[in-house]
Amino acid sequence: MAKPPVTKPASFAERLLALSGREPVGARAALAEAPWHAVKGFCVGSADIIPGVSGGTMALILGIYERLLMAIRSFDRAWLASLLRLRVGEALARNDLPFLLPLVLGIGLALLFFTRVVPLPALIVTRPELVYGLFFGLILASIAVLMGEVERYGPRQVLTALAGVALGFMIVTLVPVTTPDAPWFIFLCGFVAISAMLLPGISGSFILLILGKYAYIINALGSFDFVVISTFVAGMLTGLVAFSRAIVWLLRRYHQSTLLVIKGILIGSLWIVWPFQERVYETVRGKERLVGSSPVWPDAFDGTVAASLALLLAGFVLVLVIHRLARPGAIGAGPAG
C-alpha cells in the first residue's frame, strides 16, 4: 500500500491566515504578495519620517490608500465584541491581515533603518535640498498620475480640486503657536496629528509644530514621560479610528469629490516640500528640528542644485515605474481574493 505523501507543516503565517478565515490556496497567494506589501510599508514609513511629507501621501502614490483606510476601519465595535467573547478567529476574519501585517512590518523597518542605519532626520538638516528634491519629484509625479485618473474635468471638478489646493496651502503655511500643556490638549494633539498623517499632503509632525507641541512630545518620548506619552497615544488611537471612518464614509458617498480634494491638498503641500527653502531650525534634546521654512529660488546653479534636480527627476521616474508595475486602477483597490 502506497504511503500518503508527506506534506510540509504550514508556516506560522499560513496558520494565522487560516485562523482568519483564509483558505490554504488563498493564504499562500496572500503570502506571495506579502513582500510587496512590506516594501510599500517601508516607503510609507520612510515618508512619515520626513517633516512636511505625509505617510498618507506615499500610500496614495503606491495605490494602497483606500485599502489602508478600510483595513484600519475593520477594528470596529463588532471586532472588539468578538475579541471579548474570545472568538479570535471571528475577530481576525474581519481584518485584512495579509495586507496589514507585512505593511506594518515594512513601516517598522523603515523607522529603524532611517534612524539607525541611514540617519535621514540628520540628512534633512545637513542636506535638505537632496532629501526634499527626491520627495518633491515623488509627489509631483503622483499628482500627474492621480489627476490623470479623473474621468472628466468640468467646472465643479476644477473648483473642488482648487478647494483642496487652498486647504493644503493654508495648513502648510500656518505659523506655530503657543499652546497649553494640559492633558486634554495633549490628547487633542495626538488626535489631530494622526488624522493629518492619514490625509495625503499633510504631515503629522508639521501639525504638531503648528500646535506648538513638537518639541514637547519629542522631549516626553526621550524622557519616557508615561503620562504625556499615554495621553498622546490615546489621542492617536482615537483619531485613527474616528478619522479613518470619516474618510471612508466620504469616499463611499462622494468618492470623486473626496479624491479631488485630497489631490488638491497634495498640490498645495508642494509649497512646503520645494527643496530650496530658507529653513528655521530649533534645537530639541541636542538635535536640530525644522520649525519653519519659506520657498526660495536658488541663487546659482551649483553641485547641490544639480544633485537636487537629479534626485527630483529620479523620484518622478520612480513613481511612474511603480505606477506601471501596479495593477490598473490600483488606487482604492480592496483586498485581493
Which tens digit of pLDDT belongs to each residue from 164-178? 888 878 877 776 656
d(CA 221, CA 243): 24
- Residues 162 and 258 placed together within one structural domain of the fold: yes
- Residues 267 and 185 placed together within one structural domain of the fold: yes
Lookup: cell for 186: 495633549
Please report whether residue 57 resides in a domain. Answer: yes
Query: Which of 102, 118, 134 lies at the terminal end of a domain, its last residue?
Result: 118
- Residues 155 and 292 placed together within one structural domain of the fold: yes
What crossing angle do the helices spanning 226-253 and 214-222 adopt, rounded to 10°?
A: 130
d(CA 304, CA 269): 23
Please report whether residue 279 resides in a domain. Answer: yes
- Residues 287 and 214 placed together within one structural domain of the fold: yes
- Residue 294 phi, psi (nearest 5): -145, 135
Residue 137 has a CB neighbour count (10 Å cut-off) of 24
- Residues 176 and 86 placed together within one structural domain of the fold: no
**Which residue has 490623470 as its cell numbers?**
148
pTM: 0.63
- What's the pLDDT at 330? 42
Please report whether residue 63 resides in a domain. Answer: yes
Is residue 9 over pLDDT 60? no
d(CA 67, CA 333): 6
Please report whether residue 14 resides in a domain. Answer: no
Which tens digit of pLDDT belongs to each residue from 111-155? 778 767 777 666 777 788 888 888 888 778 877 877 776 677 788
Q: How does DSSP assign 268-287, residue by residue?
A: HTHHHH-SSEEEEEEEETTE
Lowest mean pLDDT among 61-65, 68-72, 225-229: 61-65
Which tens digit of pLDDT belongs to each residue from 182-207? 899 999 989 988 877 777 666 676 67
- Residues 111 and 166 placed together within one structural domain of the fold: no
Please report whether residue 155 resides in a domain. Answer: yes
Per-residue CA distances from 157 to 166, 177, 209 (Å): 14, 34, 32
- What's the pLDDT at 15? 55
For the residues 42-61, what does the mean pLDDT come to?
Answer: 74
Please report whether residue 125 resides in a domain. Answer: no
Range of 174's domain?
150-296
Could you tell me the pLDDT band of residue 277, with boundaries at 50, 70 and 90? Answer: confident
Mean pLDDT over each residue of the chain, to the nearest integer? 76
| Coil vs helix vs strand at 151 | coil
- Residues 113 and 181 placed together within one structural domain of the fold: no
**Percent of the chain residues topping a pLDDT of 70:** 73
- Residues 197 and 267 placed together within one structural domain of the fold: yes
Number of separate domains in the chain: 2
- Residues 282 and 157 placed together within one structural domain of the fold: yes
Query: 73 and 66 in contact (C-beta within 8 Å)?
Result: no
Please report whether residue 249 resides in a domain. Answer: yes
- Residues 100 and 212 placed together within one structural domain of the fold: no
- Residues 109 and 171 placed together within one structural domain of the fold: no
d(CA 21, CA 50): 37
Please report whether residue 5 resides in a domain. Answer: no
- Residues 246 and 160 placed together within one structural domain of the fold: yes
Query: Which of 68, 99, 118 lies at the terminal end of a domain, its last residue?
Result: 118
- What's the pLDDT at 283? 66
